[in-house]
Amino acid sequence: MLKHLIAPTLAATLAATAPAAHAFPDKAITIVVPTAAGGGNDAMARTIAQKLGTLLGQTIVIDNRAGANGSIASEFVARAPADGHTLMFGYIATHSMNPALQKLRYDPVNDFEPIGLVGYSATLMVANANVPVKDVKDLVAQLKAKPDKYTYASAGNGTAPHFAAELFKMNAGVVMLGVPYKGSAPAVSDTIGGQTQFMFPSLFTALPHVKAGKLKALAVAGPKRSASLPDVPTLKEAGVDGVDVMQWYGLFAPARTPKPIVEQLNKALNQILNDKDIIKRIEDHGADVESSTPEQLGALVKSELTKWKGVVQKAKLTAD
């Protein structure tokens, strides 16, 4: 009789201590954001984190690791335990542009498991509110008359604001000095303050400042006008073709994170991105919500890497 009682008790004890029995997640989840607090990436990550925590029944911690154009955050997550408790809010710069520009200590394809796409945001060409420039045509004329008259801010070399500005310079045939910052938030702040005069932030980052009158929107660096700013032309309409920088955002886990965990996170993420309140909050900032499978995000990373490697060669861009 005692033997029969011990056996099930022992089995239950072993089952409780076996690693496979641990339900995911069993502790707080950290989402590492590769930019400073206050930027568009940070705002989007925090919007998602609130609902994700509720869905998964765990606290979600946002860890801003700005610097080295997203490399610090990317390296940290690439080397984190592959158990789903450390994730990355990656985007176009960390997973395609910066790796296309220079050799890094992480591989955007082999070091990560894609979880899912979050959305897209157009890139907006903005100016300091007091800069004496009427429109893009006027800016091009002024820069041709006096090269390096103005400076542009970027979120760091290898980021979307850097690529967009360099494509603009190349296609407009002008010279403008770039000032790299550790993320879009400080770059936007200095453009508002007048230390730099122009910037190409995401519409998601720029829109609140444009609406507040702190920044002047000159053009959309994308294929079509934005519904949030219908009167602002595309750069092509303004006379400068070839500057199409659509920024995208996605959630990633370290490589070799078990497939069931990736699928569970993808399901939760897509449920959040189907929430009307979340959609409105993201769209109010000028971004479009778009969900995906892990495979679709993985395919996007590969195609974007190829695209931006081509741009680097054509524009002769360097990391310096």
| Tens digit of each residue's pLDDT (9 = 90 or more) over 136-150 | 999 999 999 999 899
Give CA–CA dist 204/284, Å, rounded: 8
Average pLDDT over residues 309-316: 91
Average pLDDT of 247-274?
98
Per-residue pLDDT of 45-83, as tens digits, reads 999 999 999 999 999 999 999 988 899 999 999 999 999
| pLDDT for position 203 | 93
What confidence category does residue 320 fall into, taking pLDDT thresholds of 50, 70 and 90? confident
